[in-house]
């Protein structure tokens, strides 16, 4: 194949994704290269595949513009000589094309696509085509299975041997809901291995990893995570700490702006992460209610069935629990305010949110019964004992310390946003509806999750009787500007319905 | 809504499409803005909607990076103050979301989407989602109708009044095939109005506009086009000369890399362009054969039916003609070599390609019969008379002159690539197969369409008897390097099958 010699011009701009190099438009015509065509970019020692972008101004004939991603990966400098030659399209593209026509993809085809995704070889157009085709045409059981395997195989894995290793996952959509942070110390303190990795918020006010981070670091090297779990049975780290099913994040980046959550891809991404951390027993929280991903009981039953069957084929024992997703779980929404809820439950504080305590116990109980630590029907008793005795809190402190945090932090020492705005009822009555989505939007506008102390505290829950001047919710922000921003969002939303 | 003040930093790089501004990652977190979120960018006098890109290096906190597109549209300079505030997502996005779920879209929804496409308000992800959803779920007859109307309504139109105005279109995929350039002077010389706009090549070796451009300019102002047609009844200009159904080009930019050509979108884009130039009578060429878009007779019949019905609803009289698409039409492939074919047919040169002459006469005949210039069954006779008498060539020269070209150019004056490579038959036999796709790839590698003299000449057609050393094809390039490139492509392809 014919190669062309070019001089590097660094552009100092990230693309945020795929590897792109920029050619002058006349040169591109000369080489018959079009927008998004692939080229191999190389010199005597380095080599990578990039997509072409075309410019009239930024790059002259004879030059090649490098965005930050290929600059970093290749280590080239301004003026270096390098070569390009055209290369065939990525292998997965043919399979994406077939999926658009409704063909069922086999193991190799799905592997090719996922490998291309992980290696940043697909353009936004091509990746979107795969995701929307999978959404429109659906993924079969077999395809979902093979997609899961491909996601695992293209990432790093942890290995804790063949003994029982547990995990827990929530389908999400419920503000607060920091069950994981209470559940982990309860079950890990009883010798159950549970290497929990969690995500950060994308559109929510806080992910579990964001909240844990109020108390200790969550980005730990893979070996450190392994040693903590081997010593304490549990951890609470960020899933991005190592390269865990990396295709998933790239798929989510496309799904989010389209507000789609293709079932097959959701199943594959959840289970791939569980397998990658070495789990073989998983409890899944299916929060049901308006505004969650599970609007009806039928949808929950359907998901339970596919999760269980898919788990069986993948060697995972899976149990699903339907929970109430119609309002926030706990009172705090936002990293610090949620961390306070967690500490209150663990220390049996009188002002602890009862709903968060109960939900955490139910999930711990399920794990105890699956592991054999408790007989069927006796898990709840054991979970409550471990929590109330302070054993869970002691174990929690050990994990926080092992991850590099201060285990003795007091609730009063956790900083929350000083700029506050109280939302009053306006009338006397009963709370009949709480809008999860509005709560999330307001907490984000107040600065969560990036401002750890920002968010809100929900004082009134469904069925509570309230008076005209009762405070239903308190917004916290770390600056006056953010508080203003949150109150602007509040204006447009109906958060509570009082009747 | 809260506004943020920022200082402009120009990036001097094009995005090639949507309007993007770049924020520093810390500032984006502060404002809770994510990759591809929309903001309104404005100062006291200017205003536009842009998508957000996020950088750690190129832009500092307090700055806003402008790609070339928003720089040009807004006219800002380095250091200018401007403001941003977040805005809702584009209106069409909700409709795209519904199409993903298989909902039939109504007139308003399709208009919103097309308007967003024309205004560059959709990201690649969102535009791709619309196109793939339309492909996977299909567009109904009603949707295709409304999409066509929306494409017309969001672009410029020409108006030649209510009398009959003709147009011609080929579905494409056949190298050479410059029927338009022969047909236009034949029918226009007889008083039939035919304001022909053509496209440039995207992946083919030449579009009609590229070939006409060998003889005269094709990018003319709208008013000039109108005056030429009013005077000479016909023109041969580039469709990009004015803003004709502009959504179409943006849709094609996504379809090409995915190699999809959704039927509904194809129908809408073709007919929208015809309506926009004021046509009400259209003849459509359906080239049938391997490697074209119409592999079977059934597909051709189906397209004939939908074209006719859709035309009826849109007020267009449409006739479809199935043609032979199994080999190039004419001998030359590439702008100059095709222009030579056209001149040979128009001047009745003994070496003229017979197939191109015949096909052009068939299409001219159909138009004569539709217009009433000839009775049914008598069109071919009239077309041949106009061509053979030289009347068509005289009219052709008038159009070339009116568009600003030299009407008296001789075939020998048209420059073709001097670097040539002859492809010989390796055996004696009959040509049983010609690979259109390979011919296109080789001609492009030789430099077509950007190098006007590049391309190839096909000497042997299907069913021709050839001897062992006969020249089947001659490749022309304007440089040794391009000839080498073409011969490299040739190595990998089987262009002719001789048996």
**Residue pLDDT, tens place only, A66-89:** 988 888 888 889 999 999 988 878
| Residues B121, B216 share a domain | no
Domain boundary among A402, A430, A445: A402
**Is residue A12 in some structural domain?**
yes
Q: Which residue of B has its CA nearest to A14?
A: B55
Angle between helices A141-153 and A107-118 (to 10 degrees): 40
Using the 8-state DSSP alphabet, how is residue B207 labeled? -
CA triple B92-B95-B98, angle to 5 deg: 155
Q: What is the pLDDT of residues A174-192, one digit of tens each?
A: 999 999 999 999 999 999 9
pLDDT at residue A213 greater than cutoff 90: yes
pLDDT at residue A16 greater than cutoff 70: no
Report yes or no: B54 at the A interface, CB cutoff 8 Å.
Answer: yes
For residues B364 and B379, the answer to whether their CB atoms sit within 8 Å is yes
| Residues A118, A35 share a domain | no
Confidence of residue B53 (pLDDT cuts 50, 70, 90): confident
> Whose CA is closest to B309, among B156, B171, B148, B196?
B148
Q: Which of B2, B68, B484 sits opposite A57 (nearest CB)?
A: B68
Task: Give the C-alpha separation, A156 to A233, whole Å.
Answer: 20
Which CATH number characterizes residue B10's domain? 2.40.40.20
Q: Which residue of B has its CA nearest to A131?
A: B129
Using the 8-state DSSP alphabet, how is residue A292 labeled? S
Cα of A226 to nearest chain B Cα, Å: 31
For the four alpha carbons of A250, A251, A254 and A256, in that order, the dihedral sign comes to negative
Contacts of B126 in chain A (CB under 8 A): 257-258
Inter-chain residue contact B16 with A35, CB threshold 8 Å: yes
For residues B8 and B76, the answer to whether their CB atoms sit within 8 Å is yes
Inter-chain residue contact B258 with A102, CB threshold 8 Å: no
Structure confidence at residue A1 (pLDDT) = 54
Count the Cβ atoms, other than its own, within 10 Å of residue B296: 10
Task: Give the C-alpha separation, A208 to A178, whole Å.
Answer: 7
Structure confidence at residue B17 (pLDDT) = 66
pLDDT at residue B1 greater than cutoff 60: no
Q: Which of residues 467-486 of A touch B (CB under 8 A)?
A: 481, 484-485
Cα of B95 to nearest chain A Cα, Å: 11
Inter-chain residue contact B13 with A11, CB threshold 8 Å: yes
Q: Which of residues 79-108 of A touch B (CB under 8 A)?
A: 96-97, 100, 102
Kind and range of the H or E element at A319? strand A317-324
Coil/strand/helix, residue B355: helix
Contacts of A36 in chain B (CB under 8 A): 257
Q: Which two tokens stand for residue A292?
A: 């969650």
Inter-chain residue contact A445 with B32, CB threshold 8 Å: yes
Q: Which two tokens stand for residue A410?
A: 């007091």
Inter-chain residue contact B254 with A125, CB threshold 8 Å: yes
Task: Give the C-alpha separation, B203 to B439, whole Å.
Answer: 12
Contacts of B36 in chain A (CB under 8 A): 257
Question: Out of B261, B285, B355, B470, which one is annotated catalytic?
Answer: B261
Contacts of A53 in chain B (CB under 8 A): 14, 16
**Is residue A60 in some structural domain?**
yes
Inter-chain residue contact A257 with B1, CB threshold 8 Å: no
Which residues of A form the catalytic set?
261
> Whose CA is closest to B477, among B449, B443, B454?
B454
**Is residue B148 in some structural domain?**
no
Q: Which of residues 392-431 of A touch B (CB under 8 A)?
A: none
Place of tokens 């939303």: A493
| Residues B335, B202 share a domain | yes
Mean pLDDT, to the nearest integer, of B118-135? 92
Of these ranges, A104-108, A160-164, B52-56, B264-268, the one predicted with the greatest mean pLDDT is: A104-108
Residue B186 CA from chain centroid, whole number: 23
**Is residue B438 in some structural domain?**
yes
Q: What is the pLDDT of residues B361-419, one digit of tens each?
A: 999 999 999 999 999 999 999 999 999 999 999 999 999 999 999 999 999 999 999 99
**Is residue A364 in some structural domain?**
yes
Structure confidence at residue A394 (pLDDT) = 98
Q: Which of A36, A132, A257 sits opposite B100 (nearest CB)?
A: A132
Structure confidence at residue A52 (pLDDT) = 87
| Residues A132, A45 share a domain | no
Q: Which of B32, B125, B488 sits opposite A128 (nearest CB)?
A: B125
Q: A408 burial class (0-12, 13-18, 19+ CB within 10 angstroms)?
A: exposed
Domain boundary among B86, B103, B118: B86
Inter-chain residue contact A30 with B97, CB threshold 8 Å: no
> Whose CA is closest to B257, among B113, B90, B95, B127?
B127
| Residues A393, A290 share a domain | yes
Contacts of B128 in chain A (CB under 8 A): 124-125, 128-129, 132
Determine what percent of chain B is predicted with pLDDT higher than 90: 78
**Is residue A358 in some structural domain?**
yes
| Residues B476, B385 share a domain | no
Phi-psi region of A75 (alpha: psi -120 to 50; beta: other; left: phi over 0): left
CA triple A190-A193-A198, angle to 5 deg: 115
pLDDT at residue B31 greater than cutoff 90: no
Q: What is the ipTM of this complex?
A: 0.87
Structure confidence at residue B68 (pLDDT) = 86
CA distances from B48 to A6, B111, B119 (A): 37, 20, 10
Inter-chain residue contact A13 with B16, CB threshold 8 Å: no
Confidence of residue B258 (pLDDT cuts 50, 70, 90): confident
Contacts of A125 in chain B (CB under 8 A): 124, 128, 254, 257-258
Q: Which of B123, B126, B484 sits opposite A2 (nearest CB)?
A: B484
Count the Cβ atoms, other than its own, within 10 Å of residue B269: 21
Mean per-residue pLDDT of chain B: 93
Q: What is the pLDDT of residues B196-229, one digit of tens each?
A: 999 999 889 999 999 999 999 999 999 999 999 9
Q: Which of residues 242-271 of A touch B (CB under 8 A)?
A: 253-254, 256-260
| Residues B248, B303 share a domain | yes
Coil/strand/helix, residue A499: coil
pLDDT at residue A314 greater than cutoff 80: yes
Which CATH number characterizes residue B471's domain? 3.90.1170.30
Task: Give the C-alpha separation, B129 to B95, whole Å.
Answer: 11
pLDDT at residue A2 greater than cutoff 80: no
**Is residue A159 in some structural domain?**
no
> What phi, psi does A422 have (nearest 5°)?
-95, 130
Q: Which two tokens stand for residue A318?
A: 């899976």
For residues A88 and A49, the answer to whether their CB atoms sit within 8 Å is no
CA distances from A151 to A102, A129, A195, A268, A474 (A): 21, 18, 19, 8, 42
Using the 8-state DSSP alphabet, how is residue A88 labeled? P
CA distances from B273 to A34, A278, A448, B249 (A): 24, 58, 49, 11
Q: Which of B30, B136, B488 sits opposite A1 (nearest CB)?
A: B488
Q: Which residue of A has its CA nearest to B4?
A: A481
Cα of B42 to nearest chain A Cα, Å: 19
| Residues A126, A109 share a domain | yes
Q: What is the pTM of this model?
A: 0.88
Number of domains in chain A: 4
Q: Which of B68, B136, B485 sits opposite A137 (nearest CB)?
A: B136
Determine what percent of chain A is predicted with pLDDT higher than 90: 78
Kind and range of the H or E element at B196? strand B194-198
Mean pLDDT, to the nearest integer, of A428-439? 95
Q: Which of A13, A102, A259 sits opposite B13 (nearest CB)?
A: A13
Contacts of A135 in chain B (CB under 8 A): 100
Per the model's pLDDT, the better-predicted residue between B184 and B14 turns out to be B184
| Residues B237, B316 share a domain | yes
| Residues B387, B420 share a domain | no
pLDDT at residue A386 greater than cutoff 80: yes
Partnered with residue B281 across adjacent β-strands are B166, B317
| Residues A19, A113 share a domain | no
Contacts of B478 in chain A (CB under 8 A): none
Inter-chain residue contact B258 with A129, CB threshold 8 Å: yes
Cβ density class A64-92: b for 16+ within 10 Å, e for less = bbbbbbbbeebebeeebebbbebeebbeb
Q: Which two tokens stand for residue A262?
A: 């293709």
Q: Which of A129-143, A284-298, B141-155, B306-320 has the lowest mean pLDDT?
A: A284-298
Tell me which residue range forms the domain holding A97: 92-138
Q: What is the pLDDT of residues B156-206, one digit of tens each?
A: 999 998 899 999 999 988 999 999 999 999 999 999 999 999 999 988 999
Q: Which two tokens stand for residue B363?
A: 């299409």
Mean per-residue pLDDT of chain A: 93
CA triple A216-A220-A222, angle to 5 deg: 150
Report yes or no: A29 at the B interface, CB cutoff 8 Å.
Answer: yes
Q: Which of A12, A53, A444 sits opposite B32 (nearest CB)?
A: A444
Q: Which of residues 322-341 of B touch A (CB under 8 A)?
A: none
Confidence of residue A352 (pLDDT cuts 50, 70, 90): very high
Structure confidence at residue A385 (pLDDT) = 98
| Residues A387, A454 share a domain | no
Contacts of B202 in chain A (CB under 8 A): 34
Which contacts qualify for A489-493: CB closer than 8 Å, 24 or more apart?
A: A489/A441, A489/A442, A489/A445, A490/A421, A490/A423, A490/A442, A493/A435, A493/A438, A493/A441, A493/A442
Q: Which of residues 451-470 of A touch B (CB under 8 A)?
A: none
Contacts of B481 in chain A (CB under 8 A): 2
Place of tokens 């404002």: B31
CA distances from B248 to A77, A273, B291 (A): 40, 41, 23
Inter-chain CB pairs, A–B, below 8 Å: 133
């Amino acid at each position: 194949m014919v190669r062309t010699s070019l001089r590097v011009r660094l552009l100092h701009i990230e693309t945020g994704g795929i590897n792109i190099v920029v050619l002058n438009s006349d040169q591109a015509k000369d080489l018959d290269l079009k927008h998004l065509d692939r080229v191999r970019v190389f010199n005597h020692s380095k080599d990578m595949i990039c997509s072409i972008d075309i410019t009239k101004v930024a790059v002259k004939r004879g030059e090649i513009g490098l965005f930050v991603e290929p600059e970093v990966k290749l280590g080239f400098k301004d003026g270096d000589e390098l070569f390009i030659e055209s290369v065939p399209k990525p292998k997965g593209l043919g399979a994406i094309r077939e999926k658009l026509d409704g063909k069922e993809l086999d193991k190799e085809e799905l592997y090719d696509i996922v490998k291309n995704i992980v290696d940043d070889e697909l353009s936004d157009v091509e990746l979107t085509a795969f995701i929307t085709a999978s959404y429109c045409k659906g993924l079969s059981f077999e395809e979902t299975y093979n997609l899961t395997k491909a996601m695992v195989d293209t990432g790093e894995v942890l290995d804790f041997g063949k003994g029982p290793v547990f995990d827990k996952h929530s389908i999400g959509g419920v503000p607060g809901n920091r069950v994981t942070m209470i559940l982990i110390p309860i079950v890990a303190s009883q010798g159950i291995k549970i290497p929990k990795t969690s995500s950060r918020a994308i559109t929510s006010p806080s992910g579990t990893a964001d909240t844990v981070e109020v108390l200790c670091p969550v980005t730990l090297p893979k070996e450190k995570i392994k040693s903590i779990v081997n010593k304490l049975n549990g951890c609470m780290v960020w899933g991005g700490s190592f390269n865990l099913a990396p295709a998933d994040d790239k798929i989510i980046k496309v799904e989010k702006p389209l507000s789609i959550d293709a079932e097959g891809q959701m199943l594959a991404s959840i289970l791939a992460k569980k397998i990658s951390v070495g789990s073989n027993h998983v409890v899944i929280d299916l929060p049901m209610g308006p505004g969650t991903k599970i609007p009806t009981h039928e949808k929950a039953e359907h998901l339970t069935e596919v999760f269980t069957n898919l788990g069986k084929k993948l060697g995972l024992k899976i149990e699903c629990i339907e929970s109430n997703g119609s309002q926030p779980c706990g009172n705090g929404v936002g990293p610090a305010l949620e961390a306070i809820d967690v500490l209150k439950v663990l220390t049996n504080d009188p002002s602890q949110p009862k709903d968060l305590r109960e939900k955490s116990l139910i999930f711990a109980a399920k794990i105890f019964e699956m592991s054999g630590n408790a007989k069927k029907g006796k898990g709840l008793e054991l979970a409550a004992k471990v929590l109330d005795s302070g054993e869970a809190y002691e174990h929690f402190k050990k994990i926080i310390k092992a991850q590099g945090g201060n285990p003795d932090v007091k609730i009063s020492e956790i900083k929350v946003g000083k700029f506050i705005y109280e939302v009053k009822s306006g009338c006397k009555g009963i709370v009949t509806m709480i809008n999860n989505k509005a709560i999330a939007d307001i907490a984000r506008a107040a600065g969560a999750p990036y401002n750890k102390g920002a968010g809100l505290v929900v004082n009134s829950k469904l069925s509570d009787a309230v008076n005209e001047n009762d405070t239903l919710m308190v917004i916290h922000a770390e600056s006056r500007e953010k508080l203003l921003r949150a109150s602007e969002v509040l204006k447009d939303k109906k958060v509570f319905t009082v009747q």
